[in-house]
Amino acid sequence: MKKKDLALVRYEIETLKMCQHPNIMRLLDVFETIEYLYLVTELLEGGDLLSYLKRMKFQVPEARARKIIHSLATGIFYLHTYGIVHRDLKPENIVLKTNSDDADVKIVDFGLAKIIGPAETCKDIYGTLAYIAPEVLMSKPYGKAVDIWGLGIITHLLLVGFLPFDHKDDAALAK
């Protein structure tokens, strides 16, 4: 790993060490050798939310969608309480605990997360285009609300079965 990438992984580890919430992946331990860095996390065997949606043919019962959205919202509230902005909420970063169709969901992948103060903002352009908030795309200062935008996109996908903003061409999608 390059030093910059290793620094990002270490930042992710420090962020995960702070998180103790039922809807956030738990980091149990970290082992480091000269060549490798091992992260021991709780077992999450259900695959990501996008795989679940494909398995369900993008038709999720409203009650199930409501449970998923509520779980994500409480996890995001917890993160924001501690000043953590995830900055890359998308179905691929939400994992089901088990293979069951009613499994609990967990927020994962804190590689782009950032800890900010109450009045602090970010300017870095991070995220996945289909889920990124407009203020990020316009290079404006942003805060925790970008996670709420991502949750809104996921909510739309769960309830309607497709993304509200989608295009094969990234430039057109960004516009």
Which amino acids are annotated catalytic?
Answer: 88
Token look-up 């970290």 returns: 30
Distance from C-alpha of 110 to C-alpha of 53, rounded to nearest angstrom: 22
Name the helix (H) or strand (E) containing 30. Answer: strand 27-32
Q: At a CB cut-off of 8 Å and minimum separation 6, what does 84 contact?
A: 15, 18, 19, 110, 113, 114, 115
- 3-state secondary structure (DSSP) of residue 171: helix
Q: In angstroms, how far is the first alpha carbon of the chain from the final one? A: 34
